[in-house]
């Protein structure tokens, strides 16, 4: 075993006999790009709606009935606009958590509509906590408070936005729960 390892160690460390240094460097460079590209492509794919919907089909049906699917402006929010941070480091962290999701899928915590309904409040609470902690970052990626024209909002909206939101007491998700999906049983949730 030791001899075997030593032999390979020598092969790896000794200079190349057949390929030029230039070729090796270039080759390594190319492979690097290919791997990095593949990694990126995989990341891009996991951000597509098709990917999310493969496990969250019922959620997609609900989204289609909301303002974030069709509206007068024609701007669409897809799953990852609200659920995956655009920041790269956050993205990785989110993917690490997502691998837990894959495992949960294997264990089937939401594999039937009944199981999903039973688990739904807990999942929603994860999202509310996350959005509360990052001050509704994902919402603000599209809706920037500084550019809200109060003269063009409805009085109800202005009353809330110019007070609790402007002062920072509340963030979007405190008031706008259920903006993209049906809500779970809310009887124990603050604000209902």
Binding residues for a menaquinol: 82
In angstroms, the CA 97 to CA 94 distance is 5
Is 132 one of the binding residues for ligand HEC (CB under 6 A)?
A: no
Residue 110's φ and ψ, nearest 5 degrees, are: -130, 30
Is 184 one of the binding residues for other proteins (CB under 8 A)?
A: yes
Residue 164 beta carbon to other proteins: minimum distance, rounded to whole angstroms:
8
Residue 129 beta carbon to ligand HEC: minimum distance, rounded to whole angstroms:
9
Residue 38 beta carbon to ligand HEC: minimum distance, rounded to whole angstroms:
18
Among the listed residues 163, 128, 130, 132, the one whose alpha carbon sits nearest the alpha carbon of residue 145:
163
Asked if 81 contacts 180 with a C-beta cutoff of 8 angstroms, the reply is no
Is 91 one of the binding residues for ligand HEC (CB under 6 A)?
A: no
CA angle 23, 26, 31 (to 5 degrees): 120
State the binding partner of 58 from ligand HEC, other proteins, none, CB within 5 to 8 A by kind. Answer: none
**Interacting residue with other proteins among 24, 33, 42, 67 (CB under 8 A):** 67
- Residue at token pair 């990785």: 92
């Amino acid at each position: 075993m030791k001899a075997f390892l030593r032999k390979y160690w020598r092969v790896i460390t000794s200079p190349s006999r057949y390929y030029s240094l230039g070729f090796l460097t270039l080759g390594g460079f190319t492979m690097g790009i290919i791997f990095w590209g593949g990694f990126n492509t995989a990341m891009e794919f996991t951000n597509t709606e098709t990917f999310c919907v493969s496990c969250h089909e019922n959620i997609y049906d609900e989204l289609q009935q909301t303002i974030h699917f069709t509206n007068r402006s024609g701007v669409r929010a897809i799953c990852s606009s609200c659920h995956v941070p655009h920041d790269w480091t956050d993205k990785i962290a989110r993917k690490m958590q997502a691998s837990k999701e894959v495992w949960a899928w294997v264990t089937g915590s939401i594999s039937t509509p009944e199981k999903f309904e039973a688990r739904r409040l807990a999942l929603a609470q994860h999202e509310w906590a996350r959005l509360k902690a990052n001050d509704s970052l994902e919402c603000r990626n599209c809706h920037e408070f500084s550019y809200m024209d109060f003269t063009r909002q409805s009085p109800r909206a202005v009353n809330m936005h110019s007070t609790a939101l402007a002062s920072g007491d509340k963030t979007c998700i405190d008031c706008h729960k259920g903006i993209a999906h049906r809500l779970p049983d809310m009887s124990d949730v603050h604000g209902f």
